[in-house]
A = this chain, B = another copy of it.
Amino acid sequence: MQKHTIAFIGAGNVATHLAHALQNIGHTIVAVCTRTATSAQHLATSLGTGVAVVSQVQKLPPAELYIIAASDDAIEHIAHQLPICSTNSLVVHTSGSIPIEALSGVGQYYGVLYPLQTFSKERQLNMGNIPYFVEGNTPEVEQLLFTLARSLSPLVQQLCSEDRARLHLSAVFACNFTNHLYDLAAQIVESSGVPPEWLHPLIQETAAKIQRLSPHQAQTGPARRGDQKVIAKHLEMLSLSPQWQELYQTLSKSIYTSYHQ
């Protein structure tokens, strides 16, 4: 596979993991840019010598590939400040919810490289089993991004911006909302005097189970059974917290109608 020179705009969780993964397979990270140079410096240092640190997008050195791994709101603005020197440079962002059009007018070639995963700097990740979704403004860009992603993971698919937005929405359910339920569960457990870590085996097994059964088949619990007695008791236990009560009711109703209609 062709090796590229790559500049990163952003030094957050996605940038950090992606920069290391791309460097590991032979690409050259030439620069990292963030407004406050500290986090860029940190990422650059972890990548080794020869990585420039800049605090202004306009001062980025030339690169074949610019990867914008910044907050959704900043992507379009950043892209239009890039010093695209070579007509062959490719600009991509890594966001699930920003359409490819946000990059239109930024040089000749642009696209999207969206990794479907939750990243945190503290955790090592197996970058080789993450699904990547690519989109390009030309078939050639799409092919290049596809090949690049395939060198990181076997799970790569071309996806238009609309479908990617839907995928991102599903990740909000599977990751963000799920994590919030862990948070509430931990708070409830603590009120019983039980260490919240004791929920971990249950949480791990719930997540592991769906590798064998579909979540629809794996569903259990009072709402699935339509056990109104337990549901009423739980709602009563939550009476001091109307918001949790509402959550319980909405989720139970949704489960119930999934199986009883």
Contacts and interface: CB of A to CB of B under 8 A. Distances in A.
Name which of A118, A189, A215, A229 has the most chain B CB atoms within 10 A of its CB.
A215
B194 A157 contact: yes
B206 A174 contact: yes
Interface in A157-182: 157, 159, 163-167, 169-182
Contacts of A209: 118, 120, 123, 179
Name which of A126, A131, A164, A185 has the most chain B CB atoms within 10 A of its CB.
A185
A114 to B, nearest CB: 11
Interface stretch (A28-36, A78-86, A138-146, A245-253): A245-253
B192 A184 contact: no
Interface string A173-207: 11111111111111011011110111111111111
A163 to B, nearest CB: 4
A221 interface: yes
A212 interface: yes
Interface residues of A, number: 94
Name which of A97, A201, A209, A227 has the most chain B CB atoms within 10 A of its CB.
A201
B116 A199 contact: yes
Interface stretch (A3-11, A37-45, A62-70, A236-244): A236-244
B247 A183 contact: no
Given A250-B246, A258-B183, A176 B219 contact: yes
Contact of A188 (B166, B181, B185, B208): B166
Given A167-B194, A173-B181, 15 more contacts: A118-B205, A118-B209, A118-B220, A125-B205, A129-B201, A157-B194, A166-B192, A170-B199, A172-B234, A176-B220, A177-B255, A180-B251, A181-B181, A183-B258, A204-B207
